[in-house]
Copies of this chain bind each other. A is one copy, B any other.
Amino acid sequence: MDRTAKKKATIYDLSVLSGCSPSTVSAVLNGSWRQRRIKESTAELIQGLAAKHQYTANLQARGLRRSRSGLVGLLLPVHDTRYFSSMAQTFEACVRSRGQCPVVVSACRDPQEERQIVETLISYSIEALIVAGATDPDGVHAVCEAAGLRHVNIDLPGTKAASVISDNYAGARLLTEAIVRRCGADRPLDATDLHLFGGRDDHASRERIRGFRDAKRDVLGADPDGCITPTGYSPTTSRLAFEDYFERNGRLPRGLFVNSSINLEGLIRFMAHHPNDTFTDLVVGCYDYDPFGSFLPFPVIMIRQDVETMIARAFALLDEGRPAARIHLVTPELVPPRTALRGPLDALKDEAPA
């Protein structure tokens, strides 16, 4: 019943133990002791005591005094997607390598949540924030600005802060062309038979749609209306859109441009309710890379966004202090069907199994 939640040692404890003043202890333990001209032997004494008593600094106290916390935030729409979870993974490694502490949170694509969560992070005195895929980046910007918080958009751009995003237009063109190429191998594709599903009224969707249409016009010579069905970023609504198309047309289009892996989940939900042979002959292109998504029973061409570069670029901008509110494009990569790319987890060493 050792219910003693032993109080953690403080600089005052070590001050008493060492016979030095708290300020000396503080200086020794935060590394500023040389410039404060503390004797090496004093430093060693205190460091020894600190180790012995398992001293660790109270970071809230430090943060209060310094009015910063050592925390760096990443605001995601959701965690549960390989795209965003790989972003979290990469972000975390990056932040740790700078000796800071990552805080990854998600706001469920709700503009109000986004702002409120950022308020909270600001209340904890986070030092910088990456705003990924925000529904209302400029709303978030206002909150950050009011608090003087460095921040950068990623994935979806805002107009008020620097943004690092994929070249969605170029990616969509690439993807569209690849779908056509893949379809055309046997018999030529009709322009109405290449349909885009997913996305909504955000910058990424608009750019992808633009790329899709331009590519169709260039490659198929036509871009009829009615070949685009926005569904939002929800598997359920996506599925309903596929069902709807299927009911209207008795089949799916031969070529499918799917706006994101979340929408692709809608497609497999649709599939789960339909026999396999509904999909012979189907060619899918999908934004976002998911390793399993790449190995579905029909060809899935994916666009892998370069998360590592985007995050790195975002940090570079944060380091700049006050970067211009412009958009930085990062080139995404076309991933042929049945391709297993390496991911952030491959950077980890895994100990040899027993």
A residues sitting closer than 8 Å to B (CB atoms) are 3-6, 8, 54, 56-61, 63-64, 69, 71, 78-82, 84-86, 88-89, 92, 101-106, 108-110, 119-120, 122-125, 146-148, 199-201, 230-237, 262, 264-265, 268-269, 271-272, 290-297, 322, 338-340, 342-346, 348, 350-354
Min CB distance A235 to B, Å, is 7
- Would A88 and B80 count as touching, CB distance under 8 A? yes
**Top 3 nearest A-B pairs by Cβ distance?**
A5-B148, A292-B292, A230-B353
A346 vs B346: C-alpha distance when bound (angstroms):
30
Given A125-B58, A146-B54, A272-B338 in contact, is the A350-B233 Cβ separation under 8 Å?
yes
In the complex, the count of this chain's copies comes to 2
Other A-B pairs beyond A101-B120, A101-B124, A233-B350, 9, CB < 8 Å? A4-B148, A59-B124, A108-B348, A232-B350, A236-B342, A268-B295, A271-B295, A290-B292, A292-B296
CB-CB under 8 A from A103, the residues of chain B are 103
- Would A231 and B120 count as touching, CB distance under 8 A? no
A123 vs B82: C-alpha distance when bound (angstroms):
31
- Would B147 and A8 count as touching, CB distance under 8 A? yes
Given A5-B147, A105-B102 in contact, is the A340-B268 Cβ separation under 8 Å?
yes
Identify which of A5, A60, A106, A108 gathers the most chain B CB atoms within 10 Å of its CB: A60
A168 vs B286: C-alpha distance when bound (angstroms):
35
A71 vs B71: C-alpha distance when bound (angstroms):
13
